Amino acid sequence: MDADKELANIAARTHGVFTLDDARSAKLTERQIRYRVSDRWEAIHEGVFRAAGAPITWRGDLLAATMAAGVGSAISHRSAAALDELPGGRTDIVELSCLRWKRTIKPNLVVHESRRLDERDITTVDGIPVTRPERTILDLASCFPYEGYLEYVVQAARRKRLITYESMREMFERHARRGLKGVRALRATLDRWDPTSRPTESDMETMLLETLRQHGLPEPTLQYEVRDGDGHLLGRVDAAYPSARIAIEYDSKQEHSDEFQRAKDARRNSAIQARGDWMVLSARHADLRRGGSELCGDILVALRRKPA
Assess whether pLDDT exceeds 80 at residue 208. yes
| The amino acid at 24 | R
Q: How confident is the model at residue 258 (pLDDT cuts 50, 70, 90)?
A: low
Please give the average per-residue pLDDT across 146-168, as a whole number: 96
Domains and CATH numbers, the chain: 2-50 (no CATH), 57-196 (no CATH), 203-305 (3.40.960.10)
Q: What's residue 177's pLDDT? A: 81
Query: String of b and e for 120-151 (b: at least 16 CB within 10 Å)?
Result: ebbeebeebbbbbbbbbbbbbbeebbebbbbb
Burial state string for 2-17 with b = 16 or more CB within 10 A and e = fewer than 16? ebbebbbebbeebbbb
Considering the chain, what is the average pLDDT of its residues?
A: 89
**Distance separating alpha carbons of residues 280 and 294, to the nearest angstrom:** 14
More confident residue, 47 or 307: 47
Q: What is the mean pLDDT of residues 76-103?
A: 95
Q: What ranges in the chain are assigned the alpha helix state H? A: 2-13, 20-25, 30-39, 58-69, 77-83, 133-143, 147-159, 165-175, 183-191, 203-214, 259-273, 285-289, 293-305
pLDDT exceeds cutoff 60 at 194: yes
| Percent of the chain residues topping a pLDDT of 90 | 64
pLDDT the model gives residue 103: 85
Mean pLDDT is lowest, of 37-46, 128-137, 172-181, 211-220, for 172-181
The pLDDT tens digits for 104-118 are 888 899 999 988 888
- First and final CA of the chain: distance in angstroms? 78
* pTM (2 d.p.): 0.82
Residues 6+ apart with CB under 8 A from 11: 17, 18, 22, 50, 51, 54
- Considering only 26-35, 54-63, 146-155, 267-276, which range has the smallest mean pLDDT? 267-276
Roughly what angle, to the nearest 10 degrees, separates helices 133-143 and 165-175? Answer: 60
State how far the Cα of 62 lies from the Cα of 24, in Å rounded to an integer. Answer: 22
- Look at the alpha carbons of 69, 73, 75, 78 in this order and tell me if their dihedral is positive or negative: negative
Q: What pLDDT is recorded for position 234?
A: 77
User: What's the order of all strands across the beta sheet hosting 74-75?
Assistant: 109-113, 94-98, 74-75, 128-131, 122-125
Q: Is the pLDDT of residue 168 over 80?
A: yes
Q: In angstroms, rounded to a whole number, what is the distance separating the alpha carbons of residues 91 and 64?
A: 15
Q: How does pLDDT run across 214-252, given as a tens digit for each residue?
A: 999 998 988 888 887 777 787 788 899 998 889 898 875
The type of residue at 102 is: K
Asked if residue 268 has pLDDT above 80, the reply is no
Looking at beta carbons, which pairs linking 177-186 to residues 24 or more positions away fall under 8 Å?
A: 180/142, 181/141, 181/142, 181/145, 182/138, 182/140, 182/141, 182/142, 182/143, 182/144, 182/145, 183/141, 184/145, 185/141, 185/145, 185/146, 185/147, 185/150, 186/137, 186/138, 186/141, 186/145, 186/150
Asked if pLDDT for residue 170 goes beyond 90, the answer is yes
Tell me: pLDDT of 276 over 70: no
Confidence of residue 197 (pLDDT cuts 50, 70, 90): confident
Q: CB–CB of 66/75 below 8 Å?
A: yes
